[in-house]
Structure 1
Amino acid sequence: MSGPEAVNGEGWRLFHATGTTPSGAPPQLPPAPPWRRFRGGPPQPQPPDDEQAARRRLGDVDAVPMLDQERIDVVNAALLLRRPLLVTGAPGVGKSTLAYLISREFGLGRVLEWNVVSRTILRDGLYSHDALGRAQAIAAWRAGLPSAVAADEDQPSPALGDFITLGPLGTALLPYDRPRVLLVDELDKSDIDLPNDLLHVLENGSYDVPELVRDVAGTARVHTSDPAGYAEVRHGRVECREFPVVVITSNGEREFPAAFRRRCLPLEMRTPTREQLLAMVVGHLGARPQGTEDLVDLFVQRVKAGGTHSLDQLLNAVQMTTAGGFAADGDGRKLLETLLRDLAKGR
């Protein structure tokens, strides 16, 4: 490292939480620590961008950082050490948005989302095998051919890989030259065993697909979680080249095992400042409608009073003020109160 950043000791802070790159080129991560290096192959092409999804989450961001310096430092440490981020905070505070902020700022392409529910198991994130579909395809293939000899000469049997689809976690661990961004949303809603089941995968950056391990073909072309995406898997094993940027969110409904927490860097999200909220409104709406400052002040006041509020409530309220003929006083005031209601009260 050379230049001004090396002189002032800021060279390790590659992420600035703005979603923009002042130099015009995405920053490049330094090599991973020796204990976080992997040798997966063959290399996969870079993933597609999904600017529409990023725009829904972030809007048109500007140079206003969306996090304070303490939290920016935690994100930078996770990126340099190749460790997952365990992001906590109140519902609606913007935890999942962090994944999109990192992806846009580093130019890492489409974010892979794994939305966890109480029935989710590790295999759901890694891959799925449509065994019934394959059995039906083989039966149809056999019924349509006069003999096994003709099958070998004229038309191959349905390939096993055609019925394997890698999940978000499984796709993120493919051997890309630059890391993918994986959002594991609301892990605290999972079965109690899932965090422990994740330990091996997060530590080793690899996993096996048993169906493909047993396949005599040796190499399989499988579906991925990207639209119309495919990947080549050799001998049933998937191993990353660059460990993905993993953002795990939790609403704090339960504690995670110490062994799991040891492998993650904790990051507690807080409600953005007034300046950040105003920048967020402008980013999403492209303007600052009249009365925006008053609504932001009201939102901040209610959060400080201990209420539970989400950022999209503020956006909804500001958006209403742009509707033709809507007046924020009188009857309109009652509707704004409904939009900015305390979510902890249940109604």
Structure 2
Amino acid sequence: MPPSPRGEHLSRLPDDLVAGILSLLPPREVARARLVCRWWHALTTDHHFLRASFSRRHAGHGHPVAGLFSNHIFRFTPTEYFPLSISADEEPTFGDRLALDLSFIPGAGSADPGRCILDVLGSCNGLLLLWCRSIYYVCNPLTKKLVPIVQPREAPPSLWVSLAFDPSKSRHYKIIALADMYSIHVYSSETRSWWMAIHSDQSAGLFQGHYVFRGVFWNGSVVWIVEHSLVRFIIEEEHVAKMPMPSRKKDWICAYIGESGVHLQMIGYTKKDQITACFDVLEMQENKSEWSVLYCLDLNRVKELCPDIEWPTWDTRHHQHKIIDRLALSPIYVIRGVGKTGKHGVLIFSIPGKIMSYNMEDQEISMVKEIATPCPLDILV
């Protein structure tokens, strides 16, 4: 009797075993495997598979970052993407830029880029939040699945939106929109609808002084910088509260908040720190409320390598006299390293004309991208 085809032997394997094998693949290979057959497609789109794959990637607090997006604030050039590669010793490096293939988005493939503004507004655990032609899109760039989402009718046109997606808890995502009067609106992919979660009367007092427009999804909440403090919106409870802050020096400014390796990172400094180019990266672990020092940075060498960065910071750019010795880093993004200590982390920052990277381990500084015009960028990873 002739042997059975190989496919029949494979089909006898339990679903859990095949799903476990497929979950070991890199995300891009999982997307390819999804096209092999209906069985594999069903396995790799199941919530339990996504949860197991997500948990495995974060078990060692490694690099959940696949690459870097750069949006030109004045939209002179299209969005660009730079892939992140991990070497054998877990040191992340950025490769050459790739063309961002989002041509499947209606209008994104326009022959006139100036009339089709496509922005990457955020990313969260493999999903992208995009804006094009006054419509929001949630996009899975690997599967090219695209969901258009219109703005809530009851909200004003000025919104600061954040994407919230945790595959370890649910296959559904939410969009959190902070309106200009500080009401908070929520969109759920499960109900496919918007609702007002927080009225402006409940939150206006907490958000006075809000100046960072992008919120950060962390530990079931969206976190914003408000003056020198942090405010979080706890999504499931639909509650807004202030977060504990570290002990601060006089004139200390909270300048950055981000999430990497399931932990929350914060950068703050005084004007003296800006002049000396030395400051700390603080971190709060998941389900904790205390801050600790993750990295101590010394970026004086940036001034040596790039002596032409005589550009004022955001809080001095309107002054008549530029403070030429002050290092202007805007924007900044922290990529946490592996393990409890965050070894081999990287700081991504922008200076006029360049996007730079700083390796926390060996303190090496390298250029990721040279920008044709020294205008501000919006950096996302």
TM-score normalised by L of structure 1: 0.22
Give the number of the structure whose residues are more often helix, by fraction: 1
Larger Rg: 1
TM-score normalised by L of structure 2: 0.20
Give the number of the structure whose residues are more often strand, by fraction: 2
